[in-house]
């Protein structure tokens, strides 16, 4: 027996046991109940929307996101060991989710809403980890490189960003409110990361507030521009049940989800439990108004006769009748379950008309949900001139009690440029405008003076 090698063999066995034990220690739980809980939490966080490219494999990344600083592509978060997070321990995962630091130590861009995820409870984080590691099919899809402008392509600066802007405070239960309210606050402020789109950004592109608390709390969910859409101010919007219905179905008696929100409803809140939807509604409804809020949520008394006279006696009104009234009606009330109302619509009369101009230029499709199996589409009206679109948008923003400001042709032109739309091409059939027809018969109708 060679005793000289025995210590080395024992050392090798001990090292192997340590490695094996370490591997066992980080093995994610295969508890089916925990994985199922994690799957629901992934719905709450809408992980699939950002981490799935159009036509791509679920959660395999590759979605292109435009920021003011360049292009970011979402990453593969399947358990693939080469391209995804298959080698992440729970500690690695937890650090990435809360601090925005990847396993190899590089900083993630805060387009990944880790400032909100800081508020996720530890038990929920473990369940989410278990689902991503055990309940998701690995996808061998490599990550696409980002294209960020200098100096934003230097990730070291993100460490400084975290020092200045990252709030590492966990979610705090507020005993002055109900359990349901607190559940809503936990979802909205944390995993739901609603503030990522609906809260305005500061000088460092940080969310101006991460909750309703403190002197900056008035900015939380007060509305912001995201990829040429206006995420509306939620601080003076609808009742709790109206909010819950909108999240569940993509529509209510006040409006319909469109743009990015239609995708959010499809992938995320339509799958929430009734109790969580009610909790979100109660919390959002409780937020106090801020000085720059959109017009109120209460119905406004409207002089219907005056509106009817104006709709047929102005360029804007006749444009609305020709291109919009078939679906949205001359009274602006739309058609329940089919076409959204414009009267009293928070998005239509928002202080910033970005979304209205965007949807008129590009069109939109309602989300498909369990309660709405058929999608309804609004066509693009990009063939209309900038002035024509501005007039129609202004009419919708200033009638039926709406309190929006006028839209200018210059705003429409800038939106075309931002969306990189091709120059207007004359359609094969360009229908004659009502306003032109009425002007032609001016002597008969008596309304031509209204068109100048």
If residue 65 lies in a helix (H) or strand (E), which one and from where to where? Answer: strand 64-67
| 447 pLDDT above the threshold of 60 | no
Q: Are 398 and 347 a contacting pair, CB within 8 Å? A: no
Residue 27 binned pLDDT confidence (cut-offs 50, 70, 90):
low
Q: Which two tokens stand for residue 346?
A: 């928070």
pLDDT digits (tens, 9 = 90+) for 403-431: 899 999 999 999 999 999 877 666 665 66
| 452 pLDDT above the threshold of 60 | no
Residue 14 binned pLDDT confidence (cut-offs 50, 70, 90):
very low
Q: What are phi and psi of 192, to 5 degrees?
A: -70, -20
Which parts of 293-435 are beta strand (E)? 364-365, 377-378
CB neighbours of 64 closer than 8 A, spacing ≥ 6?
53, 71, 72, 73, 144
What pLDDT, on the 0 to 100 scale, is given for residue 292? 57
- Measure CA 117 to chain center: 16
Torsion sign over Cα 256, 258, 261, 262: positive
Q: Which pTM value belongs to this model?
A: 0.85
What pLDDT, on the 0 to 100 scale, is given for residue 438? 57
Task: Tell me the three state secondary structure of residue 312.
Answer: coil
Exposure string (b/e) for 250-284, b if CB count within 10 Å is 16 or more? bbbebbbbbbbbbbbbbbbbbbbeeebbbbbbbbb
pLDDT digits (tens, 9 = 90+) for 208-243: 999 999 889 999 999 999 989 999 999 988 999 999
Question: For residues 372 and 154, what is the distance between their CA atoms, to the nearest angstrom?
Answer: 45
């Amino acid at each position: 027996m060679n005793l000289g090698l025995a210590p080395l063999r024992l050392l090798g066995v001990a090292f192997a046991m340590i490695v094996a034990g370490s591997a066992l220690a980080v093995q994610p739980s295969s508890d089916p109940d925990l994985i199922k809980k994690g799957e629901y939490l992934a719905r709450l966080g809408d992980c699939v929307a950002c981490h799935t490219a159009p036509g791509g494999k679920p959660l395999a990344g590759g979605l292109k996101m435009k920021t003011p600083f360049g292009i970011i592509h979402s990453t593969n978060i399947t358990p693939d060991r080469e391209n995804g997070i298959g080698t992440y321990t729970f500690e690695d995962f937890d650090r990435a989710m809360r601090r925005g630091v990847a396993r190899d130590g590089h900083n993630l861009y805060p387009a990944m809403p880790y400032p909100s995820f800081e508020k996720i409870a530890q038990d929920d984080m473990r369940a989410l980890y278990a689902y991503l590691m055990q309940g998701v099919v690995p996808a061998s899809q490599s990550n696409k490189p980002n294209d960020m402008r200098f100096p934003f392509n230097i990730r070291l600066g993100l460490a400084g960003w975290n020092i200045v802007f990252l709030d590492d405070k966990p979610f705090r239960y507020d005993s002055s409110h109900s359990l349901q309210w607190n559940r809503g606050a936990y979802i909205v402020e944390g995993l739901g990361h609603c503030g990522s789109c609906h809260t305005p950004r500061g000088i460092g592109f940080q969310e101006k507030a991460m909750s309703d608390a403190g002197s900056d709390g008035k900015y939380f969910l007060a509305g912001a521009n995201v990829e040429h859409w206006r995420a509306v101010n939620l601080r003076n919007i609808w009742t709790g049940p109206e909010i819950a219905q909108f999240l569940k179905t993509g529509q209510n008696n006040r409006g319909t989800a469109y743009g990015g929100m239609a995708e959010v409803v499809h992938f995320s809140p339509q799958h929430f439990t009734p109790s969580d939807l009610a909790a979100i509604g109660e919390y959002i409804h409780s937020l106090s108004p801020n000085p720059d809020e959109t017009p109120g949520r209460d119905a406004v008394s409207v002089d219907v006769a005056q509106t009817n006279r104006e709709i047929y006696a102005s360029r804007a009104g006749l444009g609305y009748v020709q291109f919009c009234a078939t679906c949205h009606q001359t009274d602006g009330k739309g058609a329940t379950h089919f076409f959204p109302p414009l009267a009293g619509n928070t998005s239509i009369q928002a202080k910033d008309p970005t979304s209205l101009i965007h949807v008129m230029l590009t069109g939109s499709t309602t989300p498909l949900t369990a309660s709405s199996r058929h999608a309804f589409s609004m066509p693009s009206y990009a063939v209309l001139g900038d002035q024509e679109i501005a007039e129609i948008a202004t009419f919708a923003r200033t009638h039926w009690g709406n309190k929006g400001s006028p839209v200018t042709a210059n705003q429409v032109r800038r939106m075309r440029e931002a969306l990189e739309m091709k120059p207007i091409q004359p359609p094969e059939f360009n229908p004659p405008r009502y306003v032109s027809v009425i002007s032609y018969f001016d002597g008969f109708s008596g309304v031509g003076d209204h068109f100048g």
